[in-house]
Amino acid sequence: MIVAVAPAWARIIPGITAAAIFCFLNLHGHLYGADKIKIGVANYNLSNLSVGVAQKKGFFKEEGIESEIIALRTNVVIAALVSGELDYTSLIGSIVGAAAKGSPLKLIAVSVDRPPLYFVSHPRIKTVSQLKGSTFGIGSYGTNVEIVTRRVVKHFGIDPDKEIRLLALGASPARLAALQQGVVDVVVVAPPDELKGKKMGFNVLVKTEEIVKFPYNGVGTSVRKLEQQPDEVKRVLKAIIKANRFIRGNREGTIQVLIDWAKAGREDAIASYDSAYKSFSEDGSISEDDIRTLIEKMVKDGKSSRPILPSDVADLNPLYQAQRELGIAKR
């Protein structure tokens, strides 16, 4: 039999109850014994807003988690996850690519299920038919931005392998600078950078979420984390789902997080929120078809020579557990 011994202060305060003691112990377990995690992101921006809101609005703390969000290059994020220096990342395209090549990593949820991206073009390009033969500026190769770009141009009847060229340029400011210098004809950017491009005299040509539904951002972790700390993984996902519900339902509060966390100006924060809040998933779900879409891209790029199943790159069991505990179970 396990006996709970009340702290000394409880023995000298008349009327203290066992329930109160256990509430105290539970509260202080969260305050002083919180799991510390590190989350790798590409930027502090709209695409990664789920983790920013989970941190700033206290959803991680509600789940007994102390979070540190670190902006790193994609290749560094993947290496750090494999080594255990990072615990989680939002770069799910890179997670799937690394898992397809055999890295012990898994996709575990989706936070943004529609791509909040825009094609911003040189003034001479006024219609999508003029995109044929263009050079596109993206952040880096092998990411979801590249996948979305290829799917959108294909939607408009342009062969993404033969009739456009992709150039990896890094962060959005570098892409816009390259567009201004004539190095590229089109850039693919997230809000509010399409507005910056418009102010520079460029055309906002395509809003990609109106063309394709695609798992753009989410949560990935290591197989080691899934095996050794499954309860922590579940609680991280509960915090992300809570954050996304906050994003979809609390405009002013989310705009303030964009200002405080992403360092956006108020005008940009408002525009970003209004253009993209519906892209945030209500429950973190991802279908097997969407996972197969991610896999197909990796296979096509030669990142794996063997057949790959969704279970090879994703583990959604912690997500289902989180959904059940939040009362939104789908299975």
Cβ–Cβ under 8 Å, residues 88 and 219: yes
Q: Give pLDDT, residue 5.
A: 40
Q: Give pLDDT, residue 22.
A: 37
From residue 252, alpha-carbon distances to 53, 246, 292 in Å are 12, 10, 36
> In angstroms, rounded to a whole number, what is the distance separating the alpha carbons of residues 123 and 285?
39
Q: Say yes or no to pLDDT of 174 above 60.
A: yes
Q: Give pLDDT, residue 1.
A: 36
Q: Say yes or no to pLDDT of 30 above 50.
A: no
Q: Give pLDDT, residue 119.
A: 98
Per-residue pLDDT reduced to its tens digit, 243-277:
999 999 999 999 999 999 999 999 999 999 998 99
| Phi, psi (rounded to 5 degrees) for 150 | -65, -40
Q: Give pLDDT, residue 298.
A: 66
Q: Give pLDDT, residue 218.
A: 95
From residue 233, alpha-carbon distances to 77, 92, 157 in Å are 18, 16, 42
* Identity of the amino acid at 220: G
Q: Give pLDDT, residue 299.
A: 66
Q: Give pLDDT, residue 26.
A: 42
Encoding tokens for residue 307? 């057949």
Question: What is the residue whose two structure tokens read 């405009």?
Answer: 251
Q: Give pLDDT, residue 147.
A: 86
- Within the chain, what is the greatest distance between any pair of CA atoms? 81
Per-residue pLDDT reduced to its tens digit, 278-313:
999 999 999 998 898 888 766 666 555 678 999 999
Average pLDDT of span 218-238: 98
Of 31-45, 49-63, 84-98, the range with the lowest mean pLDDT is 31-45
Q: Give pLDDT, residue 118.
A: 95
